[in-house]
Each structure stands twice: as structure tokens, then as C-alpha cells.
A and B are shown apart, each in its own frame.
Chain A
Amino acid sequence: MQTFNRSIHPGWLIIAPLLVLVVTLYLGPIMNILWLSFTDPEPGLGNYAKLGESDALLRIVWTTVRICIVTTLFSVGLGYSIAYAMVHCDQRQKNYMLTLLLVSFWISILVRTFSWLMLLGRKGLVNGTLENIGLIAEPIAFMRNELGVLIGMIHYMIPYAVLPLLVSMQSIDTRIMDASRNLGASGSQSFLRIYLPLTLPGLVASTLLVFILSLGFYVTPAVLGGGKVLMVAEYISVQLLVTLKWGTAAMLAALMLFGVLAMLWLMSKFMKLSTVFGGTTR
């Protein structure tokens, strides 16, 4: 008992209550879901076998992954240029941009989603205006399809993409870019050989963050997809609340969890995860 006591760092005592809380309230339910996915309605791999049997289920998973990939590409791409602009303009403009970014960050997802409907819906501002000036005869279908889901999700995700990139870009010594120019590198050479590699950890962090958050999107596809775009999160909710197939729901949830863990594992093969999440390069 004595040796056991000695080997425990006193710091653990301070976080012990928190640890208990996390284990019981977070890990517990997750374990329960994993358990359910193997046992409900009957023990075995039956729920996972459905993936192979049901086209519909596979299509939902594929739709989700496809939408998440497109969302991630656009959010991170746009986020990269926004972060770049913020780092390289003067302090006052930077404050304005940061305020605007954070305001959109803080507004409820429900409000932002319905705003898109008002703006781009069949009778929305854009279609109405275009019809009134005679540019189009029929309203353009921006909403109630996959395009609508993508617009809503990319818009929601941009602040998440910008923030890790901003941190990573801000930490670059401007003299390093001067040095690259001084040594004769053109703008694109400096970007590809110095700036991009140095912001790569931020880029990876932002990609991971956006992709993982996108996987769980529920409100936006439900509202902007108009029932035509079914993603995993919405399907899980239907299984839980309507059809009461908890086993299938648990299986899909477990699948997403494994997917995320697999991505983190894959990423850790290429770089230290601690650098991505703000640790030092060394």
C-alpha cells in the first residue's frame, strides 16, 4: 500500500473528482452505446451486418462522408484565405474581422440555418430579386437539396476552420518570409516551400476539427436538405425516436466514433498530434 501511494503524483488527487465525473458521465454512456450496438435486439454482429445488406444504410453513410469531405475542403480553403487576410492586415481591420467572425460563431445554428432559407429559398431575397429584374423565370433551387446543406454547413464551419489556422499563422515570424524573399524566392515559392509547411499543423488541426464536427451535423441537413438529404445524425435520431431500433442507432454512432479515432490514428502516423493541438514542434 505504501509503495502504491508513493508512486501516485499528488496532482492526480486534484483532478480525481473530475476524472470520476468524466468516466461515469461520458465514458460510461459511450461504453453503453458500444454494448448496445452488439447486443440489441439480439447479441452478435447483426447490426453491423446490416451495413452490407441494406443499400439505404450504406447510401446514408456515403452521403454523410461525401458532404463532410466537400464541407471540409471548402471551409478550410476559405478559412485559410480569411485567416491569411486577418494576419496580414493592420490591427484595426483585424479586430473588425475577428468580431464579425466571432459574432457568426456565437449565433445559434438554428438562426443561421433559417436565415439561409430566407435568403436563398424559392421565395427568398435572392430568387425574388433575380425574378423581379427578369434575369430568371424560375427560381433557382439553392435550398432543399444537397447544395443547400453544403452552403449551410460550410458557412457554419468557417469560424471553426479559421481559428486554428489563425493561431498557426500568427506564430510565424514575419522575418522568416522576408528571409525567403531575400534569398531570391518568388511569391509562390515562398508560399509553397515555407509558409504552407509552417502552417501545416494548423491546416491539419482545422481539417480534423471541421470534418469531425461535420460528421455529427443534424439541424442543417434536416432544415436545408428538405428531407432529401439524409445524413447519419438525422437517421440515428429517427432510429431512436421513431422506429425505436436502438441497436442500429448505436451501431451508426459507434461507426462514427471509430471513424474519428481511425482518422486521428492515421494522422498521428504522419505527424505528432501534440503539434496539431498547439504543442511545440520539437
Chain B
Amino acid sequence: MAEPLEIGSLQIRNVSKIFGTFKAVSDVSLNVQKGEFLTLLGPSGSGKTTLLMMLAGFLDVSEGDIALDGASIAGVPAEKRNFGMVFQGYALFPHMNVRDNIGYALSVRNRAVAEIEACVDEMLDLVQLQQFADRKPGQLSGGQQQRVALARALCFAPPVLLLDEPLGALDKKLRVEVQEQLKVIHRRIGTTFIYVTHDQEEALSMSDRIVIMRDGAIEQVGTPKELYERPKNKFTASFLGKSNFIHHNDKVYALRPEKIDLIVGVDHQDARMNGTVSSITYFGSMQRVIVDTKEGQKIEIDIDVWRNANEVKLGDAVDLLWADEAAVELQMG
């Protein structure tokens, strides 16, 4: 598995999945680069898992085509696709120990025992589970099981690794830790990762590119920064981070809470809006202030506590300022 992979780009062309009369995925087209960490992000029912299951070969494509490095794989059954997959809930084999779980893919390919052993050792090393090799999955913690699932899916050097909400069952602190490990492993092995999640923080912190999905279709594709800084519409702006929506001259603008300056006192010459403070919530690194404007809108502002000593109080009359480029014009709808 050590040599860098020359394959692993995916072409998804006008793919749809229809269950009866329900279109779970509609007309999705997407090119995935070799070695890319791509995240499918969306609320439940957005079709992201259905799309992943079609990539894995567990679901047939109703319309369109999926190709690996240019060659169609739409008719190839799951067991012949050679895609690694980390399942939701891990789906480890409960009757086998960690070593046999990881070596399963090579073992069913009838590889030599020595080769399997070598690969399993390498994988145990990669996910740092050497001392647990002889345990059963039931004797491992959630985080350790997750790593076994990852090692099992990577042992046969798949060109593409599919991950279906792999961190969903972990608590928040562990999740952040495993996110880091996943990124390190991705950099080390250079396999194409396709990662499904509904957690926007996970998507922002790990991905090379994010695909935001809604109702079976792609809303927007881009790097985390592109999507955060230039959301296309209200859905993207509010699904990825928080946003205020400002209406001006029949246009809608998205305005991130941390990009607004707040000055106590009214009639500042550059003020865009003014109002009174109706709520202050302290989060440690910052505080979130809600201002009721004269127009009757509630604007959320994140203030860096360290640089702005506690000068804001409930009921204060304040001016709101922001730079022109902070407000992003959105498409309607």
C-alpha cells in the first residue's frame, strides 16, 4: 500500500436515484480529483448518503453514470469495486479480533498469509492499535473501533475511501482528535477520501472541497474558505456557519456575525445600522450580542472579548459598522 496511487479520480455524470416516485438524488454531476478530501455536506434527507451508496455500489444508479479514472463503473457490483468504506456504526465483524478484521479484505482475495500479516501490521501501526490486535471489537472503545474500521477499509489499498458519518457516534472531544488523525492519515496515504457528514464544523476543518447538498441536488461546491466567504444563497450561508441577512434595494446580503463592528453610542458617521442591545451571551473566546435594529431586525454580532473589554451592556444604544466586502450578495431563493 506504500507506493503512491496513480488512480482514484471519480467522474459523476448527471446521476439520479429514483425510489418509486421519490427522487432521492437528482442530476448530480461532480468531478473528484485523485487524492482529494471531498466532503458531502447536507441535512438529513439531502441525498448525500444515497449518493455515497451509489458510489459504493450498494445502490444502482437510476440515471447517469459514475466513472473511475474515466472508465464507467456503474455496472460493477460492490464487491468488485475495490472501494474502501467506513460505515456508520463501523460494522466491524464482532466474532473476529482486530487483526482478522483488518486482514479480511486480503484474506478473501486469497493472499499469502505473510503478505496479510505484513499489511495488517502496517495498518495497526498507521492507526496506532498495535497493542489491541488480539481484542474483539466489543472490547474496544468507540474511538478505537473507528480506527479499526478505517484500517480495515484501507488494508487493500483502495483508490477511493468512502466514509459515511464515521465520527457520528463519538463524543465531541474525541471527534476533534480523530478528525486530526484522519487528516494526517489522508496526507500520508494520498487516497481519495469522500466523506459524508451533516456536521459543518467537521466539513470546514477537514475538507479540500465541500459539496453542499439539499433535496437531492448540489447547492454549491467549493473550498471551505470559498463557501464560507462567498455563499451563493441563503441555504449555504446559514448551513455553513451563521449569517445575518440584510435586505437592501431589493437585494439580499449575507453578513457573518464576526465581520460586524459594534460601537456604543449613536450617530457614528459610518454607521450602517443602529439599534439596542437585547441579549449578550458569553462563550469564552467571544461573546454573541444580539441587537434589535430600528427596522425591526435582529442582528447577531460576535465580539472578540479579549480585544473589546466588557463595554457593551444590555439596553445600550449601539451603531453597527462593516466593510463593503463583508456583505455578500446572495442569489434569491
Contact = CB atoms under 8 A, between A and B. Distances in A.
B138 to A, nearest CB: 5
Nearest to B85: A182
B109 A184 contact: yes
Contacts of A186: 79, 108
Interface stretch (B91-99, B221-229, B231-239, B265-273): B91-99
Contact of B156 (A178, A184, A194): A184
Contact of A178 (B91, B95, B108, B152): B91
A179 B79 contact: no
- A interface, by DSSP: helix, strand, loop or mixed? helix
Contact of B108 (A175, A189, A282): A189
A50 interface: no
Interface residues of B, number: 29
7 nearest A-B pairs in the assembled complex, by CB-CB distance: A175-B91, A183-B105, A179-B91, A185-B108, A181-B79, A182-B85, A181-B78
A178 B138 contact: no
A197 interface: yes
Interface of A: 173, 175-176, 178-186, 189, 193-194, 197-198, 281-282
Contacts of B293: none
A183 B88 CA distance: 15
B108 A184 contact: yes
Given A194-B93, A198-B94, A281-B94, A182 B138 contact: no
Contacts, number: 69
Interface in B72-87: 77-85, 87
Nearest to B162: A182
A189 B79 CA distance: 11
Contacts of B81: 182
A184 B88 contact: no
Contacts of B64: none
Contacts of B88: 175
B95 A180 contact: no
Contacts of A180: 93, 104, 108
B58 interface: yes
A282 B58 CA distance: 31
A282 B78 CA distance: 31
Contacts of B82: 184
A178 B105 contact: no
Contacts of A183: 79, 104-105, 108, 152-153, 156
Given A178-B91, A183-B156, A193 B108 contact: yes
B297 to A, nearest CB: 46
Contacts of A198: 94-95
A26 B108 CA distance: 52
A145 B82 CA distance: 55
Contact of A179 (B57, B85, B139): B85
Given A184-B79, A186-B108, A194-B93, A179 B156 contact: no
A184 B91 contact: no
Nearest to B94: A281
A182 B79 contact: yes
Nearest to B138: A282
A185 B152 CA distance: 13
B52 to A, nearest CB: 11
A282 B139 CA distance: 8
A173 B139 CA distance: 18
Contacts of A189: 108
A10 to B, nearest CB: 33
A180 B139 CA distance: 21
A169 to B, nearest CB: 14
